[in-house]
Structure 1
Amino acid sequence: MKLFYMPGACSLAPHIVLEWIGKPFELDRVERGKTREPEFLAVNPVGKVPALIEEDGRVLTEAEAILLYLAEKFPDDHLGASPTLEAQYEMHKWMSYLTGDVHPAFYPYFLPQRYITDEHQYPAVREAAYKQIDACFQLLDHHMRDRTYMVEKRRTVLDPYLFVFCCWGKSLSKPFTDYPNLHRFLMQMADDAGVQRAMQAQRITL
């Protein structure tokens, strides 16, 4: 397997999962601003990381889909949901929330130029985006109260995904310690050996 990633992007989540699984894989770094270059578009026409190339040449894209795929492909690592309807619902509910609400909330904060051409309005765009991010973090912080992991009582592919957004949250104006349960989760994940290997490979730090 080969994972195309950008340091610190959401591709960090499947990278951590691959470290946890422990099977051989390669890394291919995509530089920021290069995802629309013809070389990478030949891999993923959408022009986004992550992209995962399987041994048979198939290309998998979209972080959520790759995470769930890896959980299904390597069931012995127990990174997916338990085989009950309720557990699978919880897995898909939170995966959908991270993908559909939390992740896109950061886009206008980090990239206001995608949404407005007047540079003088960038602070207003970021302020509006921050309010949405803060609402998401407050909900997640409440969910993580008295929890070590996002669902069940063990790590799953949800945890590296949440970890990525917690890392991004440290760049906000509000101290991340204001979300005490998320901050605890962030520090707990930072101590994990697989997380540390992935971050070292991507040359990123908290």
Structure 2
Amino acid sequence: MKLFYMPGACSLAPHIVLEWIGKPFELGRVERGKTREPDFLAVNPVGKVPALIEEDGRILTEAEAILLYLAEKFPDEHLGASPTLEARYEMHKWMSYLTGDVHPAFYPYFVPQRYITDEHHYHAIREAAYKQIDACFQLLDRHMSDRTYMVEDRRTILDAYLFVFCRWGNTLPKLFTDYANLHRFLTQMANDAGVQRAMQAQNISL
């Protein structure tokens, strides 16, 4: 397998999961601003990371789909949901929330130029985006109030994904320690050996 990633992007989540799985894989680094270059568009025509090339040449894209794929491909690692209807629902509910609410909330904050060309409005866009990010973090902080992991009291693919967004949140103006439970989770994950290997490989820190 070969994972195409951008340092610190959402592709960090499948990178962490691959470290947890412990099977051989390669990395393909894509520099920021280079996802629309012909070489990478040949891998993923959408021009986004992550992209995962399987041994048979199949190309998998979209972080959520890759995470769920890896959990199913390596069931012995127990990184997916338990085989009950309720557990699968919880897994998909939170995966959908992270993908559909949390991740998009950061786009206008980090890249307001995607939405408007007038730089004078960037600050207002970032302020509006931060309100959405804060609302997401408050909900997640409440969810994690009595939990070590997102679901089932064990490490799953959801934790790798949530770690990415907590790490992003750690760079925002509001002190991340204000989200006490998420900050505890961030610290816990930062001490995980697989997380540390992935961050070292990507040359990133908290």
Query: Shorter-chain TM-score category?
Result: over 0.9
CA distance in structure 2 between the aligned counterparts of 1:166 and 1:174, rounded to whole angstroms: 12
Task: Encode CA deviations 1:156-200: one digit per residue, 9 max, x unaligned.
Answer: 000010000000001111000000000000000000000000000
Identity %, equivalent residues: 88
Map 1:42-191 → 2, pairs under 5 A: 42-191=42-191
CA distance in structure 1 between the aligned counterparts of 2:197 and 2:139, rounded to whole angstroms: 29
Deviation at 1:153, TM superposition (A): 1.1
Residue 2 of structure 1 aligns with which residue?
2
Deviation at 1:111, TM superposition (A): 0.2
Paired residue secondary structure (1:145): helix
Ranges of 4+ aligned residues in structure 1 off by more than 2 Å? none
Deviation at 1:91, TM superposition (A): 0.1
Deviation at 1:146, TM superposition (A): 1.0
Task: Encode CA deviations 1:121-156: one digit per residue, 9 max, x unaligned.
Answer: 000000000000000000000000010000001000
CA distance in structure 1 between the aligned counterparts of 2:181 and 2:64, rounded to whole angstroms: 23
CA distance in structure 1 between the aligned counterparts of 2:172 and 2:189, rounded to whole angstroms: 19
Paired residue secondary structure (2:3): strand
* 1:139 partner letter: L
CA distance in structure 2 between the aligned counterparts of 1:116 and 1:129, rounded to whole angstroms: 14
Number of equivalenced pairs: 206
Q: Does 1:36 align with 2:72?
A: no
* 1:23 partner letter: K
**How high is the TM-score relative to the length of structure 1?**
1.00
CA distance in structure 1 between the aligned counterparts of 2:113 and 2:2, rounded to whole angstroms: 31
Q: Over aligned residue pairs, what C-alpha RMSD do you find?
A: 0.3
**How high is the TM-score relative to the length of structure 2?**
1.00
Segments of 5+ residues of structure 2 without an aligned counterpart are: none
CA distance in structure 1 between the aligned counterparts of 2:17 and 2:160, rounded to whole angstroms: 7
Segments of 5+ residues of structure 1 without an aligned counterpart are: none
